[in-house]
Amino acid sequence: QIVSGIRKALRYIADPAFVLAEQPLRTMTMQELLRAMDEQIRSGVDGLIIRAENTPEVRAAIEQAVQQGVTVITYDADVPHSGRLCHAGQDLVRAGAIAAGVMARLIRPPEHVLIVTGNLRMEAHKGRVDGFCSHLCELGFPSDAYHIIETNEMHSLTEELVARAISEDRQIRAVYMSTQPVSGCIAGLRRAGVGSGVHVVCNDLTPAAKRYLKEGTVDFVIGQSFWQESFRAVIAMYQLLARNITPKETAYYTDLTLVCKEML
């Protein structure tokens, strides 16, 4: 979907003077991103569109790039207060609040919720968790009704930590998968021997999420339009560099959808 958004943006722009180079990252680590940013800046690019962890190192790298005259736009995961021009992505807090609203209809106090995230240094991960926890408390759940684990979006680690959390707290009746992989979560639930006895709400309508929705293992999915992120980021970069038009907003949010089995 990200690639699709890029292609749509370039077709919309249709300007041969605007050249966009794609540099996929193999490991998605901060170190690899910083090296890629440095390489591109040294090659003389006018702008960078990046997905990054919100760390002091990345923030400093963006600030340095901006000081060198390079425009920086973030997508999916934001790095606020870094000098970046704007951000295109999901309204993270709202997405988390929607998940909490759904969850509050599936369980009741004193039942507990397990929140699974990748890395709380990623704004795309932290924002959803913050929105979920805040709204869950507003809906009458105590602050000790949820437990947060970080799995770095690794299948094996997600499976292990979910299974361990369920075994240690039999009051857990629901899991909020704020990030991927949902397959690791389901494997962890099965490993803990609870099967369909625990409700699951997850983010992003991936092929795996669709499969689990159809079989009833996942109750709801908070979906987003990934293509909109890259589309809006590329358009904003083009308008600034080619037309000197500054974005009207500092954040462009993608559409949110609540998907259940019957909608597939």
Give the single-character DSSP code of 139.
Answer: T
Give me the pLDDT at residue 121, please: 82
* Cα distance between residue 72 and residue 70, in whole Å: 6
Bigger pLDDT: 226 vs 150: 150
Give me the pLDDT at residue 75, please: 94
Give me the pLDDT at residue 258, please: 96
Tens digits of residue pLDDT in 6-60 = 999 999 999 999 999 999 888 778 899 999 999 999 999 999 999 988 899 999 9
Res. 195: pLDDT tops 70: no
Res. 123: pLDDT tops 80: no
Q: List phi, psi (to 5°) of 74.
A: -105, 150
Q: Out of 1-5, 62-66, 185-189, pick the least confident.
A: 1-5
Give me the pLDDT at residue 194, please: 85
* Cα distance between residue 221 and residue 214, in whole Å: 11
* Side-chain half-sphere exposure of 83, counting CA atoms within 13 A: 17
Give me the pLDDT at residue 26, please: 84
Tokens, residue 93: 């807090």
Mean pLDDT for the chain overall: 94
The region, left, alpha or beta by phi > 0 then psi within -120 to 50, assigned to residue 217 is alpha
Contact (Cβ atoms closer than 8 angstroms) between residue 162 and residue 190: no
Q: What percent of the chain has pLDDT over 90?
A: 84
Name the E strands within the chain. 47-50, 71-75, 87-89, 112-117, 146-150, 172-177, 199-203, 220-224, 251-253, 256-259
pLDDT classification of 1: cutoffs 50, 70, 90: confident
Does pTM surpass 0.85?
A: no
Least Cα distance to 217 among 227, 202, 206 occurs for 202
